[in-house]
């Protein structure tokens, strides 16, 4: 069975490491350096079912930077997770494109993927913080994102509420950001509002790795990498693993994949809430 490649949950390879990524695809192999071991992953098109890309900025892929676009066209299928939170260019996401520039990439990505079902827009995470005594949030951006998804034929939206890990709390404090973490019942109320907006536009909203949202009617638990869906969308309908990915968090519904990113490739995106970057 061919493997599903994740590129990458650990860092934004497309946005910040396009040359490395393109070279790996061209050579048919990636060397992944982890904290405990270094391993090789075969990337020959004959070995790969689908490459799942995760990014907040697909400009390098669309522009063909470092021959990246040329390389991905050698593969049977790509699936694109595109995160747009509405916070780009602000203090919480200083190196991420502004929302208007990000949204302009949506239609070109659908054309590149060849099917809107191969693109998922991620409103991830929802963030709350306090400025001058007022609680601010990016929730107000969601209707624009949902409308852009609908107009591009994309059916799936994914969301989660930010999880303030200890290192992210320290980072926020050092930058003078007074984060707010509402109680779960309040988050459920917001999730119901988002679900209503999505439903009115014929979209499905998925919650990523947050089981407390399972009681919210209309919101589904996410399998961001879903071997069943990838088989359905595959040009040859080739099977992919449907076994649960045990390397992910307990609440994660993803099926098996091999991630080729490394935490040593520290993402320069500098998002304050990021749990992955060890150097922020």
CATH number of the domain where residue 50 is located: 3.80.30
Residue pair 42/258 in contact by the 8 Å Cβ criterion: no
Residue pair 16/10 in contact by the 8 Å Cβ criterion: no
Residue 139 forms part of a structural domain: yes
Q: Which residue spans within 34-112 are E strands per DSSP? A: 38-42, 48-55, 78-83
Residue 172 forms part of a structural domain: yes
Residue 265 forms part of a structural domain: no
pLDDT tens sequence for the chain (280 residues): 999 999 999 999 999 999 999 999 999 999 998 778 899 999 999 999 999 999 999 999 999 999 999 999 999 999 999 999 999 999 999 999 999 999 999 999 999 999 999 999 999 999 999 999 999 999 999 999 999 999 999 999 999 999 998 989 999 999 999 999 999 999 999 999 999 999 999 999 999 999 999 999 999 999 999 999 999 999 999 999 999 999 998 989 999 999 999 988 989 998 999 987 766 5
Residue 220's DSSP bridge partners are: 206
Per-residue model confidence (pLDDT) at position 177: 95
Residue 190 forms part of a structural domain: yes
pTM of the full predicted structure?
0.96
Per-residue model confidence (pLDDT) at position 31: 96
Per-residue model confidence (pLDDT) at position 222: 96
Owning domain of residue 87: 3-259
> What total of structural domains would you count in the chain?
1
Residue 38 forms part of a structural domain: yes
Report CA-CA distances (Å) from 257 to 48, 84, 97, 112.
10, 23, 28, 22
Residue 26 forms part of a structural domain: yes
CA distance 90 to 187: 23
| Token reading at 97 | 């494109």
Residue 278 forms part of a structural domain: no
Report CA-CA distances (Å) from 176 to 81, 114, 139, 173.
30, 43, 21, 5
């Amino acid at each position: 069975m061919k493997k599903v490649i994740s590129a990458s949950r650990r860092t934004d390879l497309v946005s910040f490491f396009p040359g490395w990524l393109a070279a790996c695809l061209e050579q048919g192999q990636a060397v992944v350096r982890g904290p405990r071991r270094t391993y090789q992953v075969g990337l020959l098109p004959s070995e790969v079912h689908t490459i799942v890309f995760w990014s907040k900025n697909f400009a390098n892929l669309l522009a063909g930077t470092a021959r990246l676009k040329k390389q991905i066209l050698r593969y049977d299928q790509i699936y694109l997770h595109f995160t747009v939170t509405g916070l780009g260019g602000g203090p919480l996401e200083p190196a991420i494109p502004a929302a208007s520039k990000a949204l302009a990439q949506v239609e070109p990505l659908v054309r590149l993927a060849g099917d809107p079902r191969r693109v998922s827009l991620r409103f991830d995470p929802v963030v709350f913080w306090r400025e001058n005594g007022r609680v601010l949030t990016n929730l107000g951006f969601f209707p624009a994102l949902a409308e852009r998804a609908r107009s591009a034929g994309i059916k799936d939206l994914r969301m989660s509420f930010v999880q303030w890990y200890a290192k992210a709390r320290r980072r926020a404090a050092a930058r003078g950001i007074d984060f707010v973490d509402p109680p779960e019942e309040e988050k459920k109320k917001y999730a119901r509002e988002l679900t209503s907006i999505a439903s009115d536009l014929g979209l499905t909203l998925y919650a990523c790795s947050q089981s407390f949202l399972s009681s919210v009617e209309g919101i589904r638990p996410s399998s961001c990498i879903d071997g069943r869906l990838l088989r359905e969308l595959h040009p040859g309908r080739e099977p992919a693993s449907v076994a649960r990915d045990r390397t992910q968090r307990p609440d994660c519904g993803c099926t098996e994949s091999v991630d080729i990113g490394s935490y040593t490739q520290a993402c320069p995106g500098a998002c304050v809430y990021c749990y992955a970057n060890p150097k922020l």
